[in-house]
Amino acid sequence: MKTSTLLLAATMTFFTAVTQANDEHSRLPTLSAGVSETYGLVAGKPLRFQIAVEHDAVLKISSRHFAADSSKNNLMTAVLRDPQGNVVATASDDNGHFSLEQDVQEGYYQLEVAGNSISGSADENGRSYSLNVAFE
């Protein structure tokens, strides 16, 4: 009886952990090949994204701003984590135009983008960005 109870408890714990991991992936905005929607830099509040890699490739991610907006003095950092949560690539730029390139294998990767305006400008448009994603 004790063995059955322990086995049931272990099985439930395993499925709970898997469900939580799947829920975490489903709650994150997903990036796919092409240009993302527009996001804004908010100091102290990094944004996390999910990237589903379907096969081995070179993943290229770069930030971009609207042509009329200035990204000058916007510190941006990007951290790419593999499916196990290990940091596999980082990029940063003081003018809001980071570029990251990494060999990746099949799995769910996570990208964290953070930053702030170094100048303290109140211009919200200058802190808007989108992400260009390519698999090669």
Backbone angles phi, psi at 120, to 5 degrees: 75, 15
The CATH number of whichever domain residue 118 belongs to comes to 2.60.120.380
Count Cβ atoms below 10 Å from residue 22 Cβ, excluding itself. Answer: 11
- Residues in Cβ contact with 71 at an 8 Å cutoff, skipping those fewer than 6 apart: 65, 95, 96, 97, 126, 129
Q: Is the pTM of this model over 0.95?
A: no
- Mean pLDDT for 70-88 is 86
Residue 5 resides in a domain: no
Residue 14 resides in a domain: no
Say what the pLDDT of residue 53 is: 97
User: pLDDT band for position 43 (50/70/90)?
Assistant: confident
> Above pLDDT 70, what percent of the chain?
67
Residue 46 resides in a domain: yes
Contact 11, 3 (CB under 8 A): no
**Count of domains for the chain:** 1
Domain containing residue 101: 29-135
Residue 24 resides in a domain: no
User: pLDDT band for position 40 (50/70/90)?
Assistant: confident
- Mean pLDDT for 80-102 is 92
Residue 47 resides in a domain: yes
Residue 19 resides in a domain: no
Say what the pLDDT of residue 73 is: 66
Residue 23 resides in a domain: no
Q: How far apart are CA 84 and CA 80, in angstroms?
A: 11
Residue 69 resides in a domain: yes
pLDDT digits (tens, 9 = 90+) for 25-37: 568 999 999 999 9
